[in-house]
């Protein structure tokens, strides 16, 4: 049976001294990625800064920060791309930072991404360290940094901000800080639609905790749990707080569009985004097998999805705490089963860091020099791929 993972809260988050090796290693990997992007872009007469801050979704976020909501683009095929599809926390932070500093909105978005990526690395370390120790925490952070699409962590996108909020919310759950967990989950829900995965983690763990406490009370013949009389109230408050961010924005969009509570789904439909259980993605993969060159890409996609599913199965077998399993499962399901642009799926999976824990634990068991021989070449390959990717098709 999966452990709930909730324990008495330690004095606080991991100290800066304890997390410093992980943060330094993370910063080194990201610096390598930015250096590779700068050199590659210069060779192609492009601006690395523009690729990071002024294209694709980052441009939409900047427009929200500068002009507010209401901007839309009507495509020749009739689709309507509305900026209401983008949740507001990142644009709010961009606007605030631009007002307080000389930074432009784009520069503010880049600064938020850099700071949020460090906060995310710290949160990921906190979760892994709490469960498996500092070496596992270091390895988990480094593996997250060297993911093939890790360059997105340095873009003016919302992935880093969301991952930071999600990781710290999960850490709060694991350490029994229910109100903090709910508040952070609410902020995650103001960042991306996948914030529902954090809400699910809070609710599932809280409900399971109530069931466990009730069973223990019945087994002992008691009606209450005297060791923490206010624990139940804090759990309920955390549960109540967690969905407020996502619910507030979705209801506001519904009111603004005049289409009621489901108005946000209509906005997403204009982007051809939806949840079809993976049918569109399966068709996309199947279409790759119509010719030999593309069949290799199709086989690669199948292997990639298989690896993700295998990692999740290993997480279950390792009895990861319930909030991590619920969160990682929800993020994975929402990424793979959405009908959105298929090239964005690796980016959408970026916040699912608990899937890296089995690999991190394996890496933590080998001597440092051997783990460095693994991480080093992968970091170089990731940096080169990120530079190639952003100078090519890049994220949508």
Q: In this predicted model, what pLDDT tens digit does every residue of 112-159 receive, in sequence order?
A: 999 999 999 999 999 999 999 999 999 999 999 999 999 999 999 999
Q: Residue 12 — pLDDT band, cuts 50, 70, 90?
A: low
Q: What is the pLDDT of residue 148?
A: 94
Rounded to the nearest integer, the mean pLDDT of the chain is 91
Q: Is residue 334 predicted with pLDDT exceeding 90?
A: yes
How does pLDDT run across 18-62, given as a tens digit for each residue? 999 999 999 999 999 999 999 999 999 999 999 999 989 999 999
Q: Residue 88 — pLDDT band, cuts 50, 70, 90?
A: very high
Q: Residue 343 — pLDDT band, cuts 50, 70, 90?
A: confident
Q: What is the pLDDT of residue 375?
A: 96
**How confident is the model over 330-343, as a mean pLDDT?**
85
Q: Is residue 246 predicted with pLDDT exceeding 50?
A: yes
Three-state DSSP state, 80: strand
Residues contacting residue 158 through CB under 8 Å, at least 6 positions apart: 57, 61, 86, 87, 89, 90, 191, 192
Residue 41 and residue 139 in contact, taking contact as beta carbons nearer than 8 Å: no
Residue 120 and residue 354 in contact, taking contact as beta carbons nearer than 8 Å: no
Q: How far is CA 293 from CA 290, 297, 298, 300, 341, in A?
A: 9, 7, 9, 12, 21
Of 116-130, 296-310, 341-355, where does the model show the most confidence? 116-130
Q: What is the per-residue DSSP string for 82-130? A: EGGGS-SHHHHHHHHHHHHSS--HHHHHHHHHHHHHHHHHHHHHHHHHH
Q: What is the pLDDT of residue 228?
A: 56
With residues binned 3-state (H G I as helix, E B as strand, rest as coil), the percentages for the chain, rounded to 5, are: 75, 0, 25
**How confident is the model over 170-185, as a mean pLDDT?**
97
Query: Which residue ranges make up each domain of the chain?
Result: 16-272+368-390
d(CA 60, CA 71): 9
DSSP 340: S
Q: Is residue 342 predicted with pLDDT exceeding 80?
A: no
Q: Residue 291 — pLDDT band, cuts 50, 70, 90?
A: confident
Q: Residue 226 — pLDDT band, cuts 50, 70, 90?
A: very low
Q: Residue 306 — pLDDT band, cuts 50, 70, 90?
A: very high
d(CA 122, CA 313): 26
For tokens 């978005």, the residue is: 109
Q: Is residue 222 predicted with pLDDT exceeding 70?
A: no
Q: Is residue 214 predicted with pLDDT exceeding 60?
A: yes
Q: What percent of the chain has pLDDT over 90?
A: 74
d(CA 144, CA 120): 10
**How confident is the model over 327-347, as a mean pLDDT?**
88
d(CA 72, CA 390): 25
Does pTM surpass 0.75?
A: yes
Question: Which of 119-123, 271-275, 310-314, 378-382 shows the lowest per-residue confidence on average (mean pLDDT)?
Answer: 271-275
Q: What is the pLDDT of residue 279?
A: 77
Question: Which of 69-73, 225-229, 243-247, 351-355 shows the lowest per-residue confidence on average (mean pLDDT)?
Answer: 225-229
Q: What is the pLDDT of residue 225?
A: 46
**How confident is the model over 368-373, as a mean pLDDT?**
91
């Amino acid at each position: 049976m999966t452990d709930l993972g909730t324990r008495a809260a330690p004095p606080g988050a991991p100290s800066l001294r304890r997390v410093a090796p992980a943060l330094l290693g993370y910063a080194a990997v990201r610096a390598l990625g930015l250096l590779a992007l700068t050199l590659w872009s210069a060779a192609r007469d492009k601006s690395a800064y523009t690729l990071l801050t002024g294209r694709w979704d980052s441009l939409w976020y900047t427009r929200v920060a500068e002009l507010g909501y209401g901007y839309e683009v009507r495509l020749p095929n009739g689709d309507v791309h509305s900026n209401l599809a983008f949740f507001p926390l990142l644009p709010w932070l961009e606007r605030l930072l631009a007002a307080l500093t000389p930074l432009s909105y784009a520069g503010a978005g880049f600064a938020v991404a850099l700071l949020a990526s460090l906060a995310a690395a710290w949160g990921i370390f906190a979760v892994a360290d709490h469960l498996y120790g500092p070496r596992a925490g270091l390895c988990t952070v480094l593996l997250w940094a060297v993911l093939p699409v890790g360059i997105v962590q340095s873009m003016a996108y919302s992935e880093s901000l969301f991952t930071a909020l999600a990781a710290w919310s999960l850490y709060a759950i694991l350490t029994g800080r229910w109100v903090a967990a709910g508040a952070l989950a609410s902020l995650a829900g103001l960042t991306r639609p996948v914030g529902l995965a954090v809400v699910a983690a809070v609710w599932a763990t809280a409900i399971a905790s109530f069931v466990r406490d009730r069973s223990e009370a019945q087994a002992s013949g008691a009606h209450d749990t005297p060791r923490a009389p206010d624990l139940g109230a804090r759990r309920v408050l955390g549960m109540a707080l967690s969905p407020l961010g996502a619910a507030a924005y979705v209801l506001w969009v519904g009111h603004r569009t005049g289409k009621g509570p489901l108005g946000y789904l209509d906005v997403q439909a204009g982007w051809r985004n939806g949840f079809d259980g993976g049918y569109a993605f399966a068709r996309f993969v199947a279409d790759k097998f119509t010719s030999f060159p593309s069949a290799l890409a199709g086989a690669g996609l199948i292997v990639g999805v298989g690896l993700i599913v295998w990692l999740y199965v290993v997480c279950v077998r390792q009895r990861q705490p319930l909030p991590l399993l619920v969160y990682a499962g929800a993020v994975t399901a929402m990424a793979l089963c959405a009908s959105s642009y298929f090239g964005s799926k690796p980016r959408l999976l970026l916040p699912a860091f608990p899937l890296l824990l089995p690999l991190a634990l394996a890496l933590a068991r080998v001597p440092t020099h051997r783990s460095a021989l693994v991480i080093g070449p992968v970091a170089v390959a990731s940096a080169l791929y990120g530079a190639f990717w952003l100078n090519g098709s890049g994220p949508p």
